[in-house]
Amino acid sequence: MQGGEGGMARPAQMIKKYAAGVDINAADILWALLCALLSSCGTGSFAPFGPAAICAGMLTGMGSRAFLGAVIGSAATYRWAGLTHSLVFAALCLIWGGPMRKRRRDKPVLLISAGVLIAPIFYIDSLDAAMTGLGQLSASLFFSAVFYRAAVALNRAHLGRGIGERDMTALFLTAGACCAAAAPYCMRGVSLGGILAAFTALILSGSVGIYAVACAAVAGAGVAIGGGSVAFAGAVVIGALSASALRKGKKMGVCCGFLGVCLVCAYFGDCELTHGIETTIAAILYVMIPNKKLKQLADLFEMQEQEAERRLDSLKSRVKETAEVLDRVSSLFEASPESELELFAGRQLRCMSEAMVNIPDEGERRYTLFCGTAVRPKQGVREAGDSIAIRDTGKGKLVILSDGMGSGPVARRESQTAAGLAGDLMSIGVNELDALDCVNRLLMYKSEYDMYATIDAFTFDCESGMGRFLKLGAPPSYILRRGEVIELRAETLPIGIIKGAAPARQELELSEGDRIIMATDGVTDALGESMAERIAALYECKDPEKMAEELIALSSGEGKINDDMSVAVALVQKEKKDRKTDV
């Protein structure tokens, strides 16, 4: 008897030990009830929320609670496909990865496998059944990610951390799924889903303002999918919009704005009187929430923006510290250089340090610059030796055209180095003269042969409208303004020939409609003295890309192309308020 009693006591002790190790709290009970509600949504063959909730629960460490709730909800509402999917999924998790509370990233794969295994049972009768099975599999996978993200967002809220936009999206979709699941539960025509949708819209209207309209739309759609009225969904959206507008009126303003609009829609529109009762119940529940709790909820959404500002300030501080280190290192190189290369390295480190410290504010853009380019290689050569670089400098645009010596791959490599590196350095804030000096010396030090390249650079300030031209061995540039052509010419040496090569600089104020034309000598030599006349003839062409192609076509004509030809055209236009980026 003692041995028998000991044998009977051993399992009981194990169960007691396991129960003592499980911390069941209110959050676990709510999660189980939520999973039971979600799993009850759907039809006999389409019920994806239950398996999705279990998968999300496993990923967050609450798999056993989610499984219990989903199984009870599916069985109670005869969602046999969802129940079978949940059971097979749980069995695969136990076989493959151990306890359901163990967090593993392979759960979505097992969820798909479970859906494939139950397909012969529910989804092989017809094409419609097969499509339903595919929908079950896809929806369960999608909503498992949504529910997981929503659970993470709720955990962040519980810990007092901010809620970002992705968290809000997941919460909105989860709210819509809950409303769809709760819509069939009615008492005297009053739907639990309608109350939940109105209550959710009210809370968010007072906490996040206009974002509540998106949640109201999702929640209303959930009610409609669950069998509710589409008109009620529209009333909830309009009510959320009205409540958001009266947000400054605090709780009573939000409540009156929402309730007033919904009651008017219920009385004069197609909504039933029960929908007015649902919104009234939701408003009463909203009023009962303490103001302190609503304030905490609003702070959670604002906290994410504050966190982003804090990270930005921290990043600026790190950049400044890095710049100071670079400045100190450059001072060591420049204090007692043992070679010209060390002096050059110290100078470039100092330039980078200054660029990191003096990051310009973009300001308000009054103008925008539209660019078009065209390139044609020399006849008999597959690759042109010209290169064009276009960069955004933060405050404006930078266009660089470079012509390497000769044609073919070697010339192109030199021109790409010159245009690309100069463009990259200037775009991050390095002084123009320092950037060009760096490229000049690198070409001299690193070129395998005696190589050089021309530089024709144009920088445009989108705030002031000022344009600056820098030339090193480049042919003239042209400005086409109201049918007249302005020629900008400078006699300078290309880069890569001598140390300390300085560019010719010219600055002009540009206005709307001005077109800047930059070309390599293959184009200017081909057109000769008629270059300005040919540009003026293209005044009616407003597309920079087409204008560049037309100039290339005029330059090549029907004769032999003796040199690489490249053209860059930039059009200045006023910035429109609704245009966010340049083209």
What pLDDT score was predicted for residue 331?
A: 78
Distance CA 93, CA 46 (A): 22
3-state secondary structure of 480: strand
Amino acid (one-letter) located at 225:
I
- Mean pLDDT value across the chain: 80
Asked whether 211 and 167 are in contact (CB, 8 A), the reply is: no
How many CA atoms within 13 Å lie on the side-chain side of 560?
Answer: 4
- Nearest-angstrom CA–CA distance, 337 and 334: 6
58 pLDDT more than 80: yes
Residues in the chain: 583
Q: Per CATH, which fold does 367-574 belong to?
A: Phosphatase 2c; domain 1 (3.60.40)
Question: Mean of the pLDDT values across residues 492-520?
Answer: 89
pLDDT score of 271 more than 70: no
- Ranges 43-57, 161-175, 488-502: which has the least confidence: 161-175
Predicted confidence at residue 276, as pLDDT, reads: 79
pLDDT level of residue 6 (50, 70, 90 thresholds):
very low
pLDDT of residue 100: 52
- Between 297 and 538, the more confident residue is 538
Coil/strand/helix, residue 163: coil
d(CA 409, CA 407): 7
Q: Classify residue 245 as exposed, middle or buried by CB count within 10 Å of its CB (0-12, 13-18, 19+).
A: middle
Domain boundaries, the chain: 24-163, 165-289, 296-357, 367-574
pLDDT of residue 550: 92
What is the band of 7 on the pLDDT scale with cuts at 50, 70, 90? very low
pLDDT at 21 over 50: no
pLDDT greater than 50 at residue 308: yes
pLDDT tens-digit profile of 80-124? 888 999 999 988 888 876 555 455 667 888 888 888 898 888 888
Note the pLDDT tens digit of each residue in 235-258: 888 888 888 887 776 778 888 888
pLDDT reported for residue 26 = 65
Partners of residue 156 on adjacent β-strands: none
**Which residue, among 278, 307, 304, has the nearest Cα to 207 in the 3D structure?**
304
80-97 helix and 49-59 helix, angle to the nearest 10 degrees: 30
Q: How far apart are CA 580 and CA 583, in angstroms?
A: 10
Does residue 316 have a pLDDT over 80? no
Using CA atoms, how far apart are residues 37 and 79, in angstroms rounded to an integer?
12
- What ranges in 101-126 are assigned the alpha helix state H? 107-122
Helices and strands: H and E segment counts in the chain: 20, 12
Q: Which tokens in the block code for residue 319?
A: 């950049």
Contacts of 439 (CB under 8 A, 6+ apart): 417, 418, 421, 422, 425, 455, 495
Tens-place pLDDT, residues 424-481: 888 888 888 888 888 888 877 765 556 778 899 999 998 889 999 999 999 999 999 9
HEC readout, 239-268: HHHHHHHCHHHHHHHHHHHHHHHHHHHHHH
CA distances from 206 to 51, 220, 366 (A): 33, 18, 37
Going by pLDDT thresholds of 50, 70 and 90, the confidence category of residue 224 is confident
Please give the structure tokens belonging to residue 329.
């290192």
Look at residue 463 in the predicted model and tell me its pLDDT.
87
What are the pLDDT digits (tens) for 362-377?
667 788 999 999 998 8
More confident residue, 28 or 513: 513
Residues 6 or more apart from 27 whose CB is under 8 A from it?
none
